[in-house]
Every structure is written in C-alpha cells, then in structure tokens.
Amino acid sequence: MFKIGITTFGGGYAMIAVFDKELGERKKWIDQEELLDYLAISQITPGVIAVNVATFVGRKKAGILGAVFGTLGVVTPSLIIITIIAALLTNFAGNEYVMHAFAGIRICVCVLIINATIRFIKQTVVDVLTLATFLCVFLVAAFTRVSTVYIVLFIILVSIVFTIIKGISDKKKHDGGAKC
C-alpha cells in the first residue's frame, strides 16, 4: 500500500488502475470483481476511496491489523509529500516550471482515470440491462445536479426489486416445469 501511495498522483480515482495492476494482476490478492465491490462500497462510505480500498484489502489479507497497516501504508506517503510541498511550495508556487509540471501531472491523472473507467465499463456492462443502467446513471450524473448518494441509493433499490422479481419469475418457471 505504501508503494501505491507513494507512486500514484491524483487521489482515489487515479489509484484504481494501480490497485488493479498491483493488487489484482501482480500480487493476486483480489480480482477485478472484488475491486469493483470495494470501489462501490468506498463510494458510499465516509472517507477517501483509496483509503477505504486499502483498508478493505488489508482486512481481507490480514484482519484488523492488516486493515490498519493497509490504511497507514496508503496514507503515509501523501502525508509526507504534502508536508514537504507545503513547506516548499510558497517559494516555488509561481515558478513557471512548477506550474507546467503540475499541468502535466493533471493530464496524466485524467488519462489514468479514463483508462480505469474504460476497463471497468468493459467488466461491468455485460448485457442490455447493465448497459441501460450505465447510460441512465451516466446521463443523470453528468447532466443534472442530483447527488450521487441518491443515484446510488436508487440503483440499489432498483436492483433489489429487480432481483426479487427475477427470483419470483425463475421460481414460477421452475415450479411450472416440475408440474408438467
């Protein structure tokens, strides 16, 4: 987690691709589905996404102590870097090279976020229903001022209702087939 924290700029969304590569592909601690679950839960729980994901993964791997060290690992590099930058930035904030470096970092962060988003869309949009859900959520989030909390709660409610209806339908099909 410390390695992820020290090598990733741009916060939780930018870290998604790094979490996937380091914890999923390289270490095999979690798979993409688990990461998606952790990200979903991190979205609706208080706190920073990267910290929440690090805590969840740490707890999975080593219990409470793992959660503590996972959290500290991902937070400590930022704390150190921010402390150093705060001490030095007032001297260099107006420097043209520093401003260009930050502009370049912002572009890289955007690319990381877009790349992770595309990968997760490919993983989660698997049929017409998930495509329709994705498009509806995207349009509401992008073009209205509806809070993401309400969007997530609404999707949870719709998913529960859909699952119940599908379960009843499947049960009727199964029971009806047994009577024949």
Which three-class secondary structure string do you get for 18-48? HHHHHHHHHCCCCCHHHHHHHHHHHHHCCCC
DSSP state of 10: S
User: Helix, strand, coil shares of the chain as percentages rounded to 5?
Assistant: 85, 0, 15
Read off the pLDDT band of 177 (50, 70, 90).
low
Residue 162 has pLDDT above 90, yes or no: no
Q: Which two tokens stand for residue 96?
A: 């043209």
pLDDT in tens, 23-56: 888 999 998 889 888 888 887 788 888 889 999 9
Rounded Cα–Cα distance for residues 72 and 87 (Å): 22
Rounded Cα–Cα distance for residues 133 and 139 (Å): 10
Rounded Cα–Cα distance for residues 174 and 171 (Å): 5
pLDDT score at 69: 96
pLDDT in tens, 104-152: 888 888 888 888 888 888 888 999 988 999 999 999 999 999 998 899 8
Angle at Cα 122 formed by Cα 144 and Cα 14, nearest 5°? 65
pLDDT score at 144: 95
